[in-house]
Amino acid sequence: MSWTFYNSSGQRLQTFGFVAATQAEMEAGSSTTAYVTPGRTQHHPGVAKFWVDVDQTGTQGLRDSYNVGSFSDEGTGLTQINFTTSFSDTNYAIVFGGADGVTNDASGNSVRVNAGKGTTSFQMGSAIENQTSGVSSYADAESLSAVGFGDQ
């Protein structure tokens, strides 16, 4: 909201007030004078565009999420994540985390994009790697999480 003051001749003297950031200003991330509205926050490059936490054990369950329209069980250790709002291209970053519940010291958990990433979805996989033999195989994780950053 802003206020504009005029003199008696109709000349604009000065405008005071706040100016909401446009989508372009949010994507540039450089303005120090425009304020941010909740509906524009998602356009800033430093804001997560999606996040998800899935339980893959038994019947897969979505614990919580943001900008995830649906998910599906694609087999042991594999989960398809479908976005509500698509990315503008496939050049977005995904950060993974997971807990496999395995207590064997010879095993390690890794989480990765399994089948490439698309603008509308990606498939994540959870694998257990035997650190002695180097052989890895997909395994359901107790908690599989991902967060993504990029342009939508």
Instruction: Give 103-112 pLDDT, tens digit per residue.
Output: 444 445 677 7
**What's the pLDDT score for residue 1?**
55
- ∠71-62-79 over CA atoms, to 5°? 40
Domain count along the chain: 2
- pTM for the model stands at 0.76
**What's the pLDDT score for residue 132?**
74
Are 104 and 54 in the same domain? yes
CA distances from 53 to 26, 65, 66 (A): 27, 6, 10
Higher-pLDDT residue of 99, 46:
46
**Token pair belonging to 109:** 């958990």
CA distances from 35 to 18, 48, 95, 150, 151 (A): 7, 19, 29, 21, 20
At 23 the three-state DSSP class reads helix
Of residues 59, 54, 63, 29, the one with CA closest to residue 43: 29
Are 124 and 108 in the same domain? yes
Are 17 and 89 in the same domain? no
CB 111 within 8 A of CB 124: yes
Q: What pLDDT band is residue 149 in, cutting at 50, 70 and 90?
A: very high
Which residues span the domain enclosing 69? Answer: 48-149
**What's the pLDDT score for residue 129?**
74
